[in-house]
Structure formats: structure tokens, C-alpha cells
Amino acid sequence: MKKTVLITGGTCGIGLGIGLGFQSAGYDVIATGVNAEETEATRNLYPDLDCRVLDVTCQEQITTLLNDLSHLDVLINCAGVILRDNQEHTAEGFEKALDVNLNGTMRMCYAAKQLLTASQGCVINTASMLSFFGSGYVPAYSASKGGVVQFTKSLAIAWAPEHIRVNAIAPGWIKTTLTQPLYEDEARSREITARTPLNRWGIPADVVGPALFLSSEQAQFVTGVVLPVDGGYSIM
């Protein structure tokens, strides 16, 4: 039987890149997007992807989606939001970023636990370079991604008796719609690549191999790990 992966935030950016990579590796891929327009656009481009609408802040939608699945091997939490223009320095903006990035990850994990227990599957969460470094521009995003790291480690301990492995990937500077304002800013982009030993921006395809590894039998003794995929940015 083919393995099944569910990827939140899987209709764009890093999530879509991972989904296409897993599809090429022989997985059945369920990719979710936050709204019908984005989901339909991705479905039209990639008709073999099972694209569905899901708001990870809505428990009812999450429960409905998971109840519709009979089998799940891998859950990858990529749904995320970053709010610019000082929105994260407001209570409303701060709460929104945490609700999507951290609470959304938590909701998905707990909703998928029964299926993952049955398959002895695994979870891959999405951390960030800002899990390790602060940001004066996006404090809520940084706080939420720091929380994702500790949640990942804690869940790896809690779910080990069920043989569910829980790991995270911490992407560096990857070209997506979330980072578009940065890589289109020539001065800021130069600063980023100058600090990155591999001297370039990443692309979503760069994250596929690490995600496939963490989902594979070769990683059966790997849990609670946060794997940077950053071209060396975090070692500088």
C-alpha cells in the first residue's frame, strides 16, 4: 500500500515543494491550503495532488478532515503566517501569528495522533532560523517558531511509547511568497547571502530531501531533532 502524507500549507511555498517531492517518491499527497482560491489554483496546476481547504485555526475543519482519512503515515505541518508592517507588535497580530504557527501545529498533531499510532508514523514540524535568533520586525513569528521547537521535542518524548517520531525542519532563507519582500530588496538580500556560506537563497526543493529522510526507515532512530536546512546560515 502506498504511504500517505498530509501537508498543511501544502498548496504553496515550502509545503508545495515538499508535496511534489513526496509525490515523486511514490506517496499519496494530501495538500491543504487556507482558502478555496489558493487551493483551486494549485489543483489546476497539479491535478494529481489531493488539494483541500483547511484553516488550522479551526478545530472543526481539522476534525472533519482527519475523520475523512482512513490511513496516515506522515504529517507535515507547514501552514504558517508572518505579519509585517509592525502588525506583530500589536496584541491582535501577535495572537494571530501564534494561533496559526504554534497552536495550528499543536491542533494538527493531536488530531492526527490516532492515525499515526496505527501506522507508527511520524510528524515533521516547520521551525525556522527565527527559532534560534530573535527578530525585532516579527516578534510573534519568532516566538511561535521557538515554541514549535520546544513542542517538537516535548511531543517526541510524549509519543515515543506509541512509536510516533516527531521532528522538525528549520528552513533558512527560502524563496517563497512569505520571503518575497526580502529577496526582492537588493540590499537585504545581499546581507542574507553574504552570511550564508553556500552564498545563495534556498528554494523549496532544497527542503524535500531532508523531509524525505526524516520520514524514511533510515530515520527510525531519529526523534526530537530540529534539522537546519539553511545553507549554513545558522553556523555563522
Write out pLDDT tens, residues 12-33.
999 999 999 999 999 999 999 9
**Cα–Cα distance, 82 to 140 (Å, whole number):** 8
CATH of the domain at 121: 3.40.50.720
How distant is the alpha carbon of residue 64 from its chain centre?
Answer: 21
Q: How confident is the model at residue 220 (pLDDT cuts 50, 70, 90)?
A: very high
Q: What is the enclosing helix (H) or strand (E) of 183? A: helix 180-183
- The reply to whether 191 falls in a domain is no
The model's pLDDT over 110-126, given as tens digits with 9 standing for 90+, comes to 999 999 999 999 999 99
Is residue 27 within 8 Å of residue 3, measured between CB atoms? yes
Q: What is the mean pLDDT of residues 212-222?
A: 98
Residue 225 vs residues 90, 102, 133, 176, 232: alpha-carbon distances, Å: 32, 17, 18, 24, 17
Quick one: which of 117, 131, 135 has its CA closest to 229?
131
Query: What is the DSSP code (8-state) at residue 90?
Result: S
Q: Structural domain tally of the chain?
A: 1
- The reply to whether 198 falls in a domain is no
- The reply to whether 8 falls in a domain is yes
- The reply to whether 185 falls in a domain is no
Residue 200: how many CB atoms within 10 A of its CB? Answer: 13
Our answer to whether residue 141 is catalytic in this structure is yes
Cell readout for 217 is 526507515
- The reply to whether 194 falls in a domain is no
Enter the pTM of the model.
0.97
Q: What residues make up the domain containing 59?
A: 4-174+204-235
Q: Which of 27, 110, 141, 233 is catalytic?
A: 141
SS3 (DSSP) at 125: strand
- The reply to whether 179 falls in a domain is no
- The reply to whether 77 falls in a domain is yes
- The reply to whether 195 falls in a domain is no
pLDDT at 54 over 90: yes
